[in-house]
Structure 1
Amino acid sequence: MAPSKMRAAQVVEYNKPYQLCERPTPKCGDHALLIEVHAAGFCHSDLQVLHGQFPAQLPLIPSHEPAGKIVQVGSQVQGPWKVGDRVGVLNFKNACKTCVGCRQHLRRKNCTDPRFCQNREMAGFKHDGAFAQYMLADPDTTVHLPEKVSFEQGAPLMCAGATVWGALQKLKPDVKAGETVAIVGIGGLGQLGVQFAKAMGYRTVAIDNRAEGRKLSMEVSEKLKPDLVVDSSAPDAGDKILDFTSGEGLAGIVVCTDSIQANAWSLEQLGNGGVMVPVGLPKDKWQFDSSALVFRELTIRGVYVSGTVDVEEMLKSVAEHAITSHITALEFDEIPDLISKYTDKAMKGRLVVKIK
């Protein structure tokens, strides 16, 4: 049984450091899972939460990238869940099953999906998340974590991995294995994106205007390294991509940065019929060349974080191909100093807090 009290970190005031505290352990309802959190990731969205870009009632326990073990299963929970299971937990939970979003998804997919529910809960954004010893999870958005995947590696997959995996799935069916796909912006998402793209059979180009990002793209196993690394700020960047693709341009491109300039440049690198999936969310609107879009019949495709089915497929690929993130692990007591570490220019990869 879980103790009545737990350690947690919370946002008490926007733009102020996280505060360590003691909170009551959440009660496991009949339809929920109680998770003992072993590791929790820090995402750029968490910084936005701290800055108040997603207004919520404070105090709030942040982080939406948890991995841990089930310690209690609600009496009405259906499915293959038992105490001791190693799991990861996705952000959205508790679909109402009656709103427009739920009804549309039920009609189209024969199931509800909390990602599109108008009344969904958002752990780490609007509701308590993973910077705590325990958290509640929705069985519909919980996934089993393969034994080969550590908790520290599993945590970033619940958002960073799920997001860039979903973006690559959006290239289908237009972009086939063997064609050339680029990942722009090599940080926590981009490094995973390069490895996913290689595992999916694409010729893969890693693109970043930072030397740190280009170096990070190569810090993976030999079979998952990109086929070409490009400095997007170099005058000949476009020429290198054309040379690599025999003058055709890219078949697909996934952009893991919110830079408006980088997104506009990325669209220009596509060949006829190419597909672009932007992942970053800029404060201002994207700006794309309408001529390129029309006369080359390009597609810009939106993507949300992956749902449960796609994440389960992602985890199989992670285990099969030994895909990893560059991790900087912090202890729980270091959470108040986390932002300074995250914003350090020398920082690369993902920050993960070891909760247990």
Structure 2
Amino acid sequence: MTSPHMRAAQIAEFNKPYQLSSQPVPQCGDDDLLIEVHAAGFCHSDLQVWEGQFQAELPIIPSHEPAGKIVQVGARAKGLWKVGDRVGVLNFKKACGECVGCRQYVRRKGCTDPRFCEKREMAGFKHDGAFAEYMIADPATTVLLPGEVSFEQGAPLMCAGATVWGALQKLKPEVRPGETVAIVGIGGLGQLGVQFAKAMGFKTVAIDNRPEGRKLATKISSDLSPDLVVDSSAPDASDKILDFTAGEGLAGIVVCTDSVLANTWSLRQLGNGGVMVPVGLPKDRWQFDTEHIVFRELTIRGVYVASREQVEEMLKVVAEHNILSHITSLSFEEIPSLVAKYTDPAMKGRLVVQIKQ
């Protein structure tokens, strides 16, 4: 008997256009969920996968930002999952429970977390992802979408949202509500970061050297709009930040770009005891001023991506505050043009593919 097939887009060769093809629908194992993908996002990491930076074995189905519905629940799938549930899926899955990363996390937190498993699968990075009509999900890293969140809006939250939300959590406990936090790089992550920071009670500065990014920051709804928008390339950029903070400098800063120069500049904007969280992955190493770190007692804190529990908290905030990504929607047939659209200097916000019309 022939197994059912689905539409899928694949990387068959690095730096070459995605290929649209027909692939077998993946088999749902006893511990799995089978997801019908309705929307899937494209982000900077997808560009890096396409360029070969993650050394994935080809061919591979890309995209790690899926939102859709459960169509099959494995016999041993943990949780109260049912067919028809609207869900988002995080890219890391299937913790082995035995490696060093799993053992350390169990010792510290009392449970496993696929983010740190040395044998984890990474959908869209090194294993098949969301540019297909169906995909396999791990119940441990699947989250219910609130009814207020559409599939198109839900998809970017599975990476862009989860990353910048996790970064903002890393500002704690040093940075408290009412203090000033900056988001650098107002693209898909940064636009969400500004809204999250406002919802968390921070005074918020949006920073970008691109007019497109600064314009995007001004399009955020008034309740969540930044208190100050700064052009980091302007000669008086640092002075504007100091004036806004009464000479103290920023309490926290989240940098949503992999530019080494932008990260170096961002650190200098922190006041005493400030915290910086860089989320980009530059090809070259970061370069930070040791004098600023030492004499201001600054903290640079790494972040991977938010845990499932943190994402569940994030989704409650998204629904409560009507937090939205600026989205450009594409059809499945337009997937081969994604890289060109993403790298267009005029591109603003997030690209999302409507897998199921």
- Scaled by the length of structure 1, the TM-score of the pair is 0.99
How do 1:268-347 and structure 2 match up within 5 A? 268-347=268-347
Structure 2 distance, partners of 1:80, 1:203, is 39
Q: Distance in 2 between matches of 1:326 and 1:40?
A: 15
Task: Map residues 69-108 of structure 1 onto 2, 5 A cutoff.
Answer: 69-108=69-108
Whether 1:348 and 2:351 are equivalent positions in the alignment is: no
Let me know the Cα RMSD of the aligned residues.
0.6
Per-residue deviation, 1:221: 1.0
Give the secondary structure class of the aligned counterpart of 2:272.
strand
Aligned equivalents of 2:50 and 2:338: distance in 1? Answer: 12
- Matched residue, 2:12: 12
Q: Distance in 1 between matches of 2:276 and 2:57?
A: 36
Contact 2:204 2:227 in 1 (8 A): yes
* Structure 2 SS opposite 1:201: coil
Residue 214 (structure 1) aligns with:
214
Q: 1:265 corresponds to which residue?
A: 265
Output the CA distance in 2 between the equivalents of 1:50 and 1:259: 19
Distance in 1, matches of 2:346 and 2:204, equals: 25
Aligned-pair CA distance for 1:275: 0.3
Q: Deviations over 1:46-93 (max 9, x none)?
A: 111111111122110000000000000000112110000000000000
1:124-172 CA-partner distances (Å, limit 9, x unpaired): 0110000000000000000000000000000000000000000000000
Shift >3 Å, 4+ stretches = none
DSSP-derived class of the 2:157 partner: helix
* Letter of the structure 2 residue corresponding to residue 49 of structure 1: V
Q: Structure 2: where are the runs of 5+ without partners?
A: none
Deviations 1:5-43 (A, max 9, x none): 100000001110000000000000000000000000001
Structure 1 residue 343: deviation in Å? 1.0
Q: Secondary structure at the match of 2:23?
A: strand
Contact 2:38 2:68 in 1 (8 A): yes
Identity %: 78
Q: Distance in 2 between matches of 1:280 and 1:159?
A: 13
Aligned AA for 1:142?
A: T
2:233 aligns with 233
Q: Which residue of 1 aligns with 2:189?
A: 189
Q: Look up the match of 2:256.
A: 256
- Structure-2 separation of matches of 1:56 and 1:192: 29
Report what 1:55 is aligned to. 55
Structure 1 CA distance, aligned partners of 2:319 and 2:344? 31
Output the TM-score relative to the length of structure 2: 0.99
Task: Give CA deviations for 1:228-255 in whole Å, capped at 9, x if unaligned.
Answer: 0000001110000000000000000000
Equivalent in the alignment of 1:37:
37
1:203 aligned to 2:188?
A: no
Letter of the 2:193 counterpart? G
Task: Name structure 1 gaps, 5 residues minimum.
Answer: none
How many residues in Structure 1 have an aligned counterpart in Structure 2?
A: 354
Q: Counterparts of 1:259 and 1:338 in 2: how far apart (Å)?
A: 22
